[in-house]
Copies of this chain bind each other. A is one copy, B any other.
Amino acid sequence: MKGLSVIPVEGLPDVGPGDVLADLIATRAFLRDGDVVVVTQKVVSKVEGRLVEVDPGDPLAHKPLVERESVRVLRRRGDLVISETSHGFVCANAGIDLSNVERGWAALLPVDPDRSAHRIRDGLRARAGVEVGVVVSDTFGRAWRRGVTDVAIGCAGVAAIVDLRGSTDAYGRELQVTEVALADEIAAAADLVMGKSSGVPVAVVRGLEPGWLRDGSIRRDVVRPPSEDLFR
């Protein structure tokens, strides 16, 4: 197998409601069939108008929004709320934060991030004539481990989970647990070139297995229903 490239897409302007991300990306990235384009949640929320005005002098002004955007609170500690969003994501502050948004505004998660990814994918096909996968990424904390990583909150044209059950290992024995969260690993790889403060909200991952570029959905394939979840 050949290697993989992770390429930041630089020079994107600040975006706002109604901007078409596919157009802005297509003119700055030299995309090829089989690439996966990773777009951070923040710019998706901005073009989709998921911004809410908050008191710029109050660092906790977004907290009522957190309650509103949560369907279930799992844990509270001080100002921190770990809750489940309407999408089924379990994360801090319902995915709302104030960084990389203009002062006085908070960005909510996209209403349907899989659909957001589809829209960008369709736009890139129309604009650049390429068949690519798209991942919408966000930065989540984890249970049991310090630090945050980027994960996929939406995807289109790329598998969310690669199911290797039934494949054999290097010894010819059937593999046991091998449902790999592909889209999450792609989001993590992309974050390595984005940085948190450098303002690069889009990256391209090139060289993935062609068979992985197929229908996928974070909501359907990755969000673990409470009934099968041991930690909710």
The answer to whether A224 touches B148 (Cβ under 8 A) is no
The answer, yes or no, to whether A114 is at the interface (CB within 8 Å) is no
Interface string of A150-171 (1 = CB under 8 A from B): 1100000000110010011111
The answer to whether A177 touches B224 (Cβ under 8 A) is no
The answer to whether B181 touches A145 (Cβ under 8 A) is yes
Q: Is the interface of A mostly helix, strand, loop or mixed?
A: loop
Q: Count of chain A residues with Cβ under 8 Å from any Cβ of B? A: 79
The answer to whether B150 touches A185 (Cβ under 8 A) is yes
Distance, CA A171 to CA B197, complexed state (A):
9
How far, in Å, is A80 (CB) from chain B's closest CB? Answer: 8
Distance, CA A13 to CA B101, complexed state (A):
51
How far, in Å, is A129 (CB) from chain B's closest CB? Answer: 23
How far, in Å, is A57 (CB) from chain B's closest CB? Answer: 13
- A4-B6, A169-B197, A196-B180 known; A229 and B144 CB under 8 Å? yes
Task: Pick from A63-71, A119-127, A186-194 the stretch touching chain B.
Answer: A186-194
In the complex, which residues of chain B have a beta carbon less than 8 angstroms from the beta carbon of A89? 144
In the complex, which residues of chain B have a beta carbon less than 8 angstroms from the beta carbon of A181? 142, 145-149
- A6-B6, A184-B147, A230-B77 known; A208 and B192 CB under 8 Å? yes
Distance, CA A169 to CA B139, complexed state (A):
14
Kindly identify which residue among B143, B184, B224 contacts A149, using a CB–CB cutoff of 8 Å: B184
The answer, yes or no, to whether A92 is at the interface (CB within 8 Å) is yes
Kindly identify which residue among B5, B188, B196, B222 contacts A178, using a CB–CB cutoff of 8 Å: B196
The answer, yes or no, to whether A108 is at the interface (CB within 8 Å) is no
How far, in Å, is A181 (CB) from chain B's closest CB? Answer: 3
The answer, yes or no, to whether A33 is at the interface (CB within 8 Å) is no
In the complex, which residues of chain B have a beta carbon less than 8 angstroms from the beta carbon of A145? 151, 181, 184, 222-224
The answer, yes or no, to whether A82 is at the interface (CB within 8 Å) is yes
Distance, CA A180 to CA B145, complexed state (A):
11
The answer, yes or no, to whether A210 is at the interface (CB within 8 Å) is no
In the complex, which residues of chain B have a beta carbon less than 8 angstroms from the beta carbon of A141? 177
Nearest CB in chain B to that of A150: its residue: B185
A-B contact pairs, 9 of them (CB 8 A): A1-B10, A3-B6, A75-B230, A142-B143, A143-B144, A145-B151, A164-B196, A175-B197, A180-B191
